[in-house]
Amino acid sequence: MDGGARGAYVRRVMLHAVRLIALGVILLLGLAWGAAWLGRGEGESLAEAFARQAARLLGQEPPAPSAGGVQLPQGMALGGAFSLTDHTGRAVTERDFAGRFLLVYFGFTYCPDVCPTELGTIAAAVDELGEAGERVTPVFITVDPERDTVEAMADYVARFHPRMVGLTGTPAQVSAAARAYRVFYAKVNRPEMTEYLMDHSSFIYLVGPDGRVRNLFRPQVAPEAIAQAVRGQLRAGGVSGAASEGGGFRETGSVAIMPPEAAPAGHGPGRGESRS
Ligand code: NI
């Protein structure tokens, strides 16, 4: 065998090996997808089942399904203590919601379009969950306590969902709650308008039974994506288990990155919102 023939032979053997390896990988993937398909949970997509089972094989906690969601950086805790007044006039803190899942949105009742849209999305997600939705409380927290009185909140939340809780408070209480959730808000006055508007960040938060944020969703997320994330959380540990057994994002081994565009996802008069 001369040098050239030898080289060709080696290349042929290597090509053969590469083909075998590729075939093996394809077979394995096929088996994994098949297993994912067979082991799919109720309401779970094939991709979700695959990710969950792959994570289990690798000895990790199942990742929280978050289609349309934003993964929080590891160790970043959102949510926590607040002291506010609900739409029935009762003083409440985060402890009144302990053990329940919450879908929380910060906004203001004078908001012409974005807040109503997002609150409608939350209501639709809760309804989409059916019976499981009864374990989830939709919560609307105002960033405009000056105008959003208890009465205004009661009238407003009733338009979206019979179980939606409206929370207002003193400016200091609202500011503290917004800080815990890293919500930005600012009053905006425009000369051509008689009423001011609020510019504010616009995320929907899925809060776990321990009061910590498990998922957050960008504006215009589909109700189905939220419902899917809630189902994932319920599967990951149930109402009391998820908090202590590492169902939250803080304990998962998954790589979590907050995309830079996630931070300023707000809305207000500066972004084409106007009160007409
Ligand atoms: Ni708004």
**Would you call 207 helix, strand, or coil by DSSP?**
strand
Distance 156 CA to ligand 1 centre (A): 13
Residue 254's alpha-carbon distances to 41, 55, 64, in angstroms, are 21, 9, 9
CA–CA dist 167, 174 (Å, integer): 9
pLDDT of 253 higher than 60:
no
Per the CB < 8 A criterion, the answer to whether 110 and 144 are in contact is yes
pLDDT tens by residue, 26-74:
777 777 676 666 666 544 556 656 565 655 555 444 444 444 566 666 6
CA 135, chain centre distance (Å): 16
1 Cβ contact partners less than 8 Å away, ≥ 6 residues apart? 9
pLDDT of 20 higher than 60:
yes
Which position has the token pair 């800080």? 179
Q: Tokens standing for 109?
A: 């009742």
CA–CA dist 264, 39 (Å, integer): 39
Distance 197 CA to ligand 1 centre (A): 9
12-16, 100-104, 166-170: least confident range: 12-16
Distance 223 CA to ligand 1 centre (A): 18
Q: Tokens standing for 149?
A: 């009185």
**Angle subtended at Cα 248 by Cα 104 and Cα 86, rounded to the nearest 5 degrees:** 25
Per the CB < 8 A criterion, the answer to whether 83 and 93 are in contact is yes
CA–CA dist 11, 15 (Å, integer): 6
Distance 202 CA to ligand 1 centre (A): 7
Q: What is the pLDDT at residue 245?
A: 33
